[in-house]
A and B are shown apart, each in its own frame.
Chain A
Amino acid sequence: MSRIALDAVRKRFGETTALDGVDLEAREGELLVVVGPSGCGKSTLLRCVAGLEAVDEGTIRIGERDVTRLRPAARNVSMVFQSYALFPHLTVRENIAFGLVVREEPKQVVRERVAEASELVGVVDFLERRPYELSGGERQRVALARALVRRPDAFLLDEPLSNLDAGTRVEMRTELRRLHREIGATMVHVTHDQVEALTLGDRIAVLDAGRVRQVGTPDEVYGRPRDRFVAGFLGTPAMNFLTPDAARRFYEIPEGTVLGIRPEHVRIDPGGVPARVDLVEVAGSDAYVHLDRGLVARVPADSRPAEGGGVGAGFDRKAAHLFDEATGERREWT
């Protein structure tokens, strides 16, 4: 397995800049999740690494090799596509063996590797079926087996779970994590789903408008977001942002800053700042309480206040984040 390193990579499509000087590294054996909103350039990034798009500037290395100008097949990476990209005219077995057959590997090797990969992802029971006879989750497993069978230097996964229903997505997320542990491969996983990113990644890279905003472990990125974009993008419901005027009811904050507080850190507390409950959304064991102070609090559903009632709200100062009002950069409390 090899590391993947991007150095000042730029990619434009006409007037649109998809990647704007991206520096990023997926360490050897790491599962790096690239997350960002639609159109932020995350799929382009993956396609540039795969060689499906040529970069305009910068270099891409896989291991110690500079692969920037190499054709896709010479980069020795496997890619799992959002739509699975299984060949409909081939059986599951033929789909998995496809890359090996194209490379004219000996039949014995093909047989062994297909058996090994299908065992690993659990598709042994339907090797003779066609892709259209499989469920979404099963297709995704086949796509993973096809990626595994070639033993590439790295795996690229382009939103592989986004076409699955909620239940299967959770199941496949766990499967992916288990698979990564088992094979110890370098994986770059692209998604727009922040929950997927936070639960799956060894590290997370948050991308916005073709730029990497922050790279770090899920705890780092969630707990100490580098800027207001990252803070607002990760977390459900999104982080509350209070202007100095609104924040002053709770704490004094420096001029030119915005206060950020995650909903789970907002307390409904009789001794807090008085507020009215505008709306309560119940999501299973949690309830999202929308207050008239521009705050959303996440509280246990069984202790939620009534809509329209008056409550007190508060939060710990040390749980709050400060961001520069103009640049959005993180500021520290003084």
Chain B
Amino acid sequence: MRAGERRWGGWRQPVAIAVAVAFLLPLWFMLSGSLREPGEAPPRAPELIPRPLSTTSYDRAFDLVDLARHTVNSLIVAALTVPLAVLVASMAGFALLLLAGRACAILVGLSFAALMIPVTALLVPRFAMFRWLGLTDTWAPLVAPALLGLSPFYVLLFYWSFRRLPPELLEAARLEGMSPFSMWRRVGMPLVRPVTIAVALLAFIASWGNFLEPLIYLFDPDLYTLPLGLRSLETLDRTNYPVLLAGAVVATAPVVLAFAIAQRYFLHEDRGAGWLGR
């Protein structure tokens, strides 16, 4: 072990614990708060375990707002958005790799520029466009950005990952007569699996937590996604914070679950994918 590693090794655990506590505490208070009786005033001091423990707030949350439907809606939107975003972003990233040279540099530059544009700056023109297309009050405006890879960041992430592959692998594939699509499917994608999972997770979080776009595009409550359902909950019973927190737990749980499932893939040392033939 080198000296630097040894020094860092001693500090690593306490630092990791401190970071974990800082991130877990809010989640814990959200969970413990949701297990209080509905209508109770907030405790004066932080309360790790409420007494008495009650799940009534969850019943109330589902009674007040159709959270089940909103959850299903969010799942449908995410199920359409995530695979589409991964597909388009990975294909675009691979296309950039094959393009190489000046054209690639220009497109990477443009992707960076697009990354700098705040989403809010595009809200009005986007809304006008979707209204002109007659697609407001449908899920189409929520899914449509996935046709562009959802974010230039995801495209660039794939591009950088593909660039790390030894060029000889793709050259060997070219010599065997593979088409660019075939190279993407049979050589590129299997070798960037951790990145694919990371992008899928990020796209899921983005879709799941998307509040602003459903707010401006959706009018029919039956089409509402979960963030809009939470807002309705807040509007209907603003001071009943155990019920609000119960809704928040329902909204957060799938993301935590998705991360728990995904992390074993990108934290696991997959030597097959990591070894790149050198």
Contacts beyond the supplied A51-B175, A85-B277: 13 A-B pairs with Cβ under 8 Å? A50-B171, A52-B171, A73-B174, A73-B176, A73-B178, A74-B177, A79-B172, A85-B166, A85-B169, A88-B274, A89-B190, A99-B176, A132-B272
User: Would B177 and A83 count as touching, CB distance under 8 A?
Assistant: no
Interface status of A72 (Cβ within 8 A of chain B) = yes
Q: Which residue of A lies closest to B271 (CB)?
A: A132
**What's the minimum C-beta distance from B181 to chain A, rounded to whole angstroms?**
12
A13 to chain B, nearest CB (A): 12
Contact of A89 among B177, B178, B273, B278 (CB under 8 A): B273
Contact A102-B191, Cβ < 8 Å, known A52-B171, A88-B277, A89-B272: no
Is residue B8 contacting chain A, with contact meaning CB distance below 8 A? no
The answer to the question of B55 belonging to the interface, with a C-beta cut-off of 8 Å to chain A, is: no
Asked if B187 contacts A87 (CB within 8 A), the reply is yes
B262-278: which have CB < 8 Å to A? 271-278
User: Quick check: is A318 within 8 A (CB to CB) of the other chain?
Assistant: no
User: Quick check: B174 and A88 within 8 Å, CB to CB?
Assistant: no
Measured between beta carbons, the chain B residues less than 8 angstroms from A150 are: 176
Given contacts A73-B177, A131-B275, contact A89 B191 (CB under 8 A): yes
For the residues of B in contact with A, the DSSP-based class is helix
- How far is it, in angstroms, between the C-alpha of A284 and the C-alpha of B170 when the chains are bound? 43
Q: Does B63 contact A (CB under 8 A)?
A: no
In the assembled complex, which residues on chain B have CB atoms less than 8 Å from the CB atom of A88?
191, 272-277
B239 at the binding interface (Cβ < 8 Å): no
Give chain A interface residues in 132-162, CB to chain B under 8 Å: 132, 150
Q: Which 7 A-B pairs have the closest CB atoms?
A: A73-B177, A85-B168, A132-B275, A89-B190, A85-B172, A99-B176, A81-B168
Cβ B177 vs Cβ A84 within 8 A: no
- Enumerate 26 A-B pairs (CB-CB under 8 Å) in ascending A order: A50-B171, A50-B175, A51-B175, A52-B171, A72-B174, A73-B177, A74-B177, A78-B175, A79-B172, A81-B168, A81-B171, A82-B168, A83-B166, A83-B277, A84-B277, A85-B166, A88-B191, A88-B276, A89-B273, A99-B176, A102-B178, A102-B182, A130-B271, A130-B272, A131-B275, A132-B275
Chain A residues with CB under 8 Å of B271's CB are: 130, 132
- Tell me the complex Cα distance, A136–B169, Å: 17
**In the complex, what distance in Å separates the CA atom of A274 from the CA atom of B182?**
71
User: Interface size on B (CB < 8 Å)?
Assistant: 23
B41 to chain A, nearest CB (A): 58
CA distance A150 to B182 in the complex (A): 19
Which residues of the partner chain A approach B278 to less than 8 Å between Cβ atoms?
83, 163
The answer to whether A323 has its CB under 8 Å from any CB of chain B is no
Give the distance to chain B from A151, nearest Cβ to Cβ, in Å: 13
A83 x B168 contact (CB < 8 A): yes
CA distance A239 to B51 in the complex (A): 93
Contacts of A50 in B (CB 8 A): 171, 175
Give the residues in chain B near A83, CB-CB below 8 Å: 166, 168, 277-278
A86 at the A/B interface (Cβ < 8 Å)?
yes
A233 at the interface (CB under 8 A from B): no
Complex interface: chain B residues within 8 A of A84 (CB) = 277
In the complex, the answer to whether A79 meets B273 with C-beta atoms within 8 Å is no
Please name the residue on chain B nearest to A150 by beta carbon: B176
Residues of A with C-beta under 8 A to B190: 89
Closest A residue to B183 by CB, please name it: A102
**A34-B197 Cα distance, complex, nearest whole Å:** 45
Task: For B275, give the chain A residue with the smallest CB separation.
Answer: A132
